[in-house]
A = this chain, B = another copy of it.
Amino acid sequence: MRIETLFTPSEITEPAVRDKTVAVIDVLRACSTIAFAMSRGCERIVPVASVEAAMNLASSLEKKVTLLGGEREGKRIDGFDLGNSPLEYTTEVVKGKAVVLATTNGTKAITMSQGAREILVASFVNMASVVERASALEGGPLTVVCAGEVGRFALEDAVCAGMLIERLGEKTAVELNDGAHAARCLYRQNKDSIPELLKECEHGRYLDSLGFAKDLDICSRVDSLSILPVVKEGRIVKPKRAKRK
């Protein structure tokens, strides 16, 4: 199984995603938050790349069932219903609703991966579900896109990519590009200290300074959610529901 890992969305090229399965990783916090929202009954999430796109889209959707979520510099956007903390996405708030989500890195990476055959939304919390789906590819190539932090390498995303690669390597022979090789190496060095990693990495320290220490703890809980959000036609849904329709 050929696995490519890209550490920032700027490394995305059309051949890297076209007709491939892509796993997008943004540990802090978009992909973790999406997993939480879907596990609490959120109907669908529409990832958008900008605040303007979120406002425009939301104005065309039914207000009763649509929420606006997202952040800039880690903070809830003025006028939005929700920020980007998994703790905000409770059952009471999101069950049966659609969320239009605009985050700096994660939803941007997802929109830049359009053209893929399938996009899996991945983080530590739903890793087992991502591994299960990816290992069913039967050798088909996998591209792992790390969202990074404002166009830069983010350590927590690289280590999470490495966990995915390590687990796939336990099931099948893997052929790695330089990025995937490095990610696996970084995972092996950090695998016994994921909660500490999230506290010590640059973006974790920044979120802590904003008062989001609890988010770091929640996002570090490996395999805590049995859910696999996938992107279908620009919208994030649960794969089973998508099949039932």
- Residues from chain B with a CB closer than 8 A to the CB of A189 are 185, 189
Partner among B6, B151, B201 whose Cβ is within 8 Å of the Cβ of A178 = B201
**Stretch of A70-78, A152-160, A227-235 with 4 or more beta carbons under 8 angstroms from chain B:** A152-160
In the assembled complex, which residues on chain B have CB atoms less than 8 Å from the CB atom of A185? Answer: 185-186, 189
Could you say which residues of chain B place their CB within 8 Å of the CB of A152? 6, 11, 177-179
Rounded to whole angstroms, the CA-CA distance of A190 and B203 in the bound complex is 27
Give A3-29 interface residues, CB cut-off 8 Å to B.
5-8, 10-11, 13
CB distance from A140 to the nearest CB of B (A): 20
The reply to whether the CB of A182 lies closer than 8 angstroms to some CB of chain B is yes
- Is the C-beta of A202 less than 8 angstroms from some C-beta in chain B? yes
For residue A178, which residues in chain B have a CB less than 8 angstroms away from its CB? 149, 152-155, 201-203
In the docked arrangement, what's the CA distance between A177 and B205, Å? 11
Q: Which residues of B contact A40 (CB under 8 A)?
A: none
CA distance A48 to B201 in the complex (A): 36
Mask of A155-183 contacts with B, CB within 8 angstroms, 1/0 = 10010000000000000000001110110
Whether B201 contacts A10 by the Cβ 8 Å rule is: no
CA A6 to CA B7, docked complex, whole Å: 11
Min Cβ gap A153→B in Å is: 5
CA of A78 to CA of B68, assembled, Å: 55
A145 to chain B, nearest CB (A): 12
Question: Which B residues lie within 8 Å of A202 (CB)?
Answer: 177-178
What separation, in Å, do the CA atoms of A14 and B185 have in the docked complex?
Answer: 31
- The distance in angstroms between the C-alpha atoms of A146 and B87, with both chains bound, is 38
Complex alpha-carbon distance, A152 and B10, angstroms: 8
From residue A15, how far is it (CB to closest CB) to chain B in Å? Answer: 12
Q: Closest B-chain residue to A158, C-beta based? A: B182
* A residues in contact (CB < 8 Å) with B: 5-8, 10-11, 13, 149, 151-155, 158, 177-179, 181-182, 185-186, 189, 201-203
23 contacts between A and B (CB under 8 A): A7-B8, A7-B153, A8-B8, A8-B11, A10-B10, A10-B151, A11-B151, A11-B153, A13-B151, A149-B178, A152-B177, A152-B179, A153-B178, A153-B182, A154-B178, A155-B181, A155-B182, A158-B182, A182-B182, A182-B186, A185-B185, A185-B189, A186-B186
